[in-house]
Amino acid sequence: MSQTVEIQRQPDDAAARVKAVSAVTTFGPEAPLQLDCGVSLSPFTIAYETYGTLNVDKSNVVLICHALTGDQHVASRHPITGKPGGWWPMMVGPGLPIDTDRYFVICQNVIGGCMGTTGPKDIDPGTGKPYGLSFPVITIGDMVRAQAMLLDRLGIKDIFCVIGGSMGGMQVLQWATAYPERVFSAIPIATAARHSAQNIAFHEVGRQAIMADPEWHAGAYLDGETSPAKGLAVARMAAHITYLSEAALHRKFGRNLQNRDKVTYGFDADFQIESYLRYQGSTFVDRFDANSYLYITRAMDYFDLAADCGGVLANAFKGTKTRFCVVSFTSDWLFPTSDNRQIVHALNAAAANVSFVEIDTDKGHDAFLLDEPEMFATLKGFIGAAAERRGLK
Ligand SMILES: CC(=O)SCCNC(=O)CCNC(=O)[C@H](O)C(C)(C)COP(=O)(O)OP(=O)(O)OC[C@H]1O[C@@H](n2cnc3c(N)ncnc32)[C@H](O)[C@@H]1OP(=O)(O)O
Ligand SMILES: N[C@@H](CCO)C(=O)O
């Protein structure tokens, strides 16, 4: 039996600029999720948050797609870390580029995730135990199909704007090509139409770190209440380096020592950068599930938008009426400008309506999460102009 439960209203949070409504929707046996791997997933649950007010004709929906380790708490206090304001506090709120006085914002935790949407840590109704590695392998297409089912459930046909960075950008591209008639405007940020060999390689390093942890137990760690925290932390440490840039590492840390005057001739965290990475790894394991990390990185690896279109990316966008704004960052070496430009070239070849901006910054890939005034100004302008075209008040 399918049902939707609004589970909480965001408590007063001085740092939150807008009230969030958190909800979970469960899809029963009558509405299975048909996965690309051939499995029908049922039942399954989607956890999501909304901000702002849906207008009468349901034409003001902004769908925000999160990145690899993000979640639905885009502009609200994180329930595990307690960090206020969400992961995109400068983007979402009253008067901000995604203006919650004007738009109805939806952000869903992806399928395979660990923040309320069904994923490998949840109970498999067939066995009564956590899925672990018996959870089916999921794709970006599956994530978007699940999101579309939620929008259908909410009676929302059209999306005014779909936006996201990194893996969120992959979902944006998937939305615009799988459901072109539903997407008025699309903003893929710091992303690619297919995952590069280098990026698959980094993901494989992370996965091997998790699997090498003796506490991983072939993915069944929840049965024994163990946790491959060390492996997951190493995976995050390696990945975190890729989210920054050499210039940013140099600017923030250089070769500075951590709370000491000289090196110790040992393997303690002598350097600030070591201490910083250890901190990033150890805090990450508190908020993320190791098996979810395996599944979601795999989904990114499999992403190749042109593959089903004879290898020609432009074919994926044939006939599109969606307005695109593609954003990249000069110092992003994970999803470099060249990857983003390929999307723009394909859109041009399909005679699509597309704008492109490369933001000059030394902050690397995760610049999209940080204070980048040029990005905010560009997106405020683009989204505002699209809203006028759409006739939104
Ligand atoms: C789109 C999505 O879905 S987002 C998903 C979830 N969010 C993320 O993945 C964000 C992950 N990335 C980060 O947090 C990053 O740090 C970045 C790349 C965004 C950079 O953010 P910045 O604001 O520049 O923060 P910075 O990288 O300096 O890290 C600050 C933290 O490191 C800690 N830190 C800084 N130096 C050191 C050090 N020498 N030793 C130990 N810890 C240190 C700070 O105390 C601070 O801790 P806090 O986060 O608990 O306050
Ligand atoms: N740092 C972000 C973006 C990575 O692509 C995350 O962990 O989701």
Does the annotation place 236 within a ligand binding site? yes
**With bands split at pLDDT 50, 70 and 90, how would you rate the model's confidence at 4?**
confident
Burial (0-12, 13-18, 19+ Cβ within 10 Å), 122: middle
Ligand 2 centroid, distance to 73 Cα (angstroms): 14
Kindly report the protein residue whose alpha carbon is nearest to atom 7 of ligand 2.
Answer: 69
- Among residues 99, 289, 332, 339, the one annotated as catalytic is 332
Q: Per-residue pLDDT for 11 more than 80? A: no
Whether residue 360 lies in the annotated active site: no
The structure tokens listed for 69 are 């380790």
Q: In sequence order, which residues have a C-beta less than 8 Å from that of residue 143 and are 6 or more positions away?
A: 65, 110, 111, 112, 171, 174, 299
The structure tokens listed for 339 are 């990857």
Q: How many Å apart are CA 122 and CA 73, to the nearest integer? A: 20
Q: Give the other-Cβ count within 10 Å of 38's Cβ.
A: 7
In single-letter form, the type of residue at position 383 comes to I
In single-letter form, the type of residue at position 363 comes to K
Atom of ligand 1 nearest to the CA of 68: 3
Ligand 2 centroid, distance to 156 Cα (angstroms): 28
Atom of ligand 2 nearest to the CA of 334: 5
| Protein fold of 199-299 | Rna Polymerase Sigma Factor; Chain: A (1.10.1740)
Task: Write the pLDDT tens digit of every residue in 339-391.
Answer: 999 999 999 999 999 999 999 999 999 999 999 999 999 999 999 999 999 99
Atom of ligand 1 nearest to the CA of 67: 3
| Residue 103 CA from chain centroid, whole number | 20
- Among residues 22, 166, 245, 328, the one annotated as catalytic is 166
The structure tokens listed for 118 are 């069904």
For a mutational test of ligand 2's pocket, the pick from 366, 368, 370, i.e. the residue with the most ligand atoms closer than 8 A to its C-beta, is 366
Which H or E run contains 20? strand 20-27
Whether residue 13 lies in the annotated active site: no
Residues in a beta bridge with 130: 123
Q: How many Å apart are CA 60 and CA 98, to the nearest integer? A: 11
- Homologous superfamily, domain 3-195+307-390: Alpha/Beta hydrolase fold, catalytic domain (3.40.50.1820)
The DSSP bridge pattern shows strands 61-65 and 104-108 to be parallel
Ligand 1 centroid, distance to 280 Cα (angstroms): 7
Task: Write the pLDDT tens digit of every residue in 92-140.
Answer: 999 999 999 999 999 999 999 999 999 999 999 999 999 999 999 999 9
Ligand 2 centroid, distance to 349 Cα (angstroms): 30
Task: Work out the average pLDDT over 250-254.
Answer: 98
Whether residue 250 lies in the annotated active site: no
Helix (H, G, I), strand (E, B) or coil at 197: helix
* pTM of the model as a whole: 0.97
How high does pLDDT run on average in the chain?
Answer: 96
Domain boundaries, the chain: 3-195+307-390, 199-299
Does the annotation place 289 within a ligand binding site? no
Residue 15: predicted pLDDT: 57
For residues 363 and 331, the answer to whether their CB atoms sit within 8 Å is: yes
